[in-house]
Amino acid sequence: MGRRRLGFWQWFAVVLVKPVMTVWTRRTWRGMEHLSQDGPVIIVPNHISHADPLVSAHFVYDAGRWPQFLGKASVFKVPVIGWILHRCRQIPVERGSVDAVKSLDALVRALDEGGAVIIYPEGTTSREPDLWPMKGKTGAARLALTTGVPVVPLAMWGPERIFDPRRARINLRPRIPVTVVAGPPIDLSRWAGVAPSRQVLEEMTDVIMLRLRDMLSDIRGGTPPPLWQRPIRPQTDRERPETAA
């Protein structure tokens, strides 16, 4: 969806947010040519800060596309706020429930309408101590396999200077340096038409996350570590299945 076709509430969001981000950040944008001006695209950024959505939205908008994020469905039920989110073409997502299938349907509809959908494959800000990418969750891979839509990686470094999740501190000084680089679509063609088994989705997700890791290494320098794995939480006595005596 091009900027020229934005509705009133979308323009309102731009007028509200863009001037703030223009003053707050000193931007290095690269790779915008990989975001086509029309047609559906799945955008997969690394996730290092709660400021990421503002920075990635600014980049995608400057590239000529309207960014569509996933948001908790409960937020869309809040009076006024939920109505504005709908008007701004954001996408409600049900999590941890049988309604999750409806969330996939909503994403597919957004792409069918030619949308630029932004999905953070890690699902949350990175828990890796130096904010390198973690192993991702499979939602973006499932959507790509379902739709066949191009998946464009978006590597970011700098939003953690705005809000560092490790210290829970916000930095309000102006012109904080941020770098965002879009890469060419990730080649996932080897899985085209394959059934979405867990193994397939995890393999696709690893390819996505490794591309993001390597792109991030090009931005910040240094040798990237293996994809960080979330520790397995030990079961409590209540969670352990009973065994026969």
What does the domain layout of the chain look like in residue ranges? 3-17+24-220
Residue 117 three-state SS? strand
Assess contact for 162 and 170: CB atoms under 8 A: yes
**Kind of pairing, strands 163-164 and 116-118?**
unpaired
CA distance 108 to 40: 10
* pTM, entire model: 0.89
Residue type, 189: S
Q: Which CATH number fits domain 3-17+24-220: 3.90.950.10, 3.40.50.1110, 3.40.1130.10, 3.20.20.140?
A: 3.40.1130.10
The vertex-123 CA angle with 120 and 127, nearest 5°, equals 110
Give the residue-averaged pLDDT of 217-226.
Answer: 94
Q: pLDDT tens digits, residue range 170-217? A: 999 999 999 999 999 999 999 999 999 999 999 999 999 999 999 999
**Kind of pairing, strands 176-182 and 151-157?**
antiparallel
Q: pLDDT tens digits, residue range 59-116? A: 999 999 999 998 878 778 888 888 888 899 999 887 655 556 667 888 999 999 999 9
Question: What is the secondary structure of 35-54 as a DSSP string?
Answer: S-SSS-EEEEE----TTHHH
Assess contact for 45 and 72: CB atoms under 8 A: no
CA distance 115 to 109: 9
Please report where in the chains the tokens 């309102």 appear, as a residue.
12
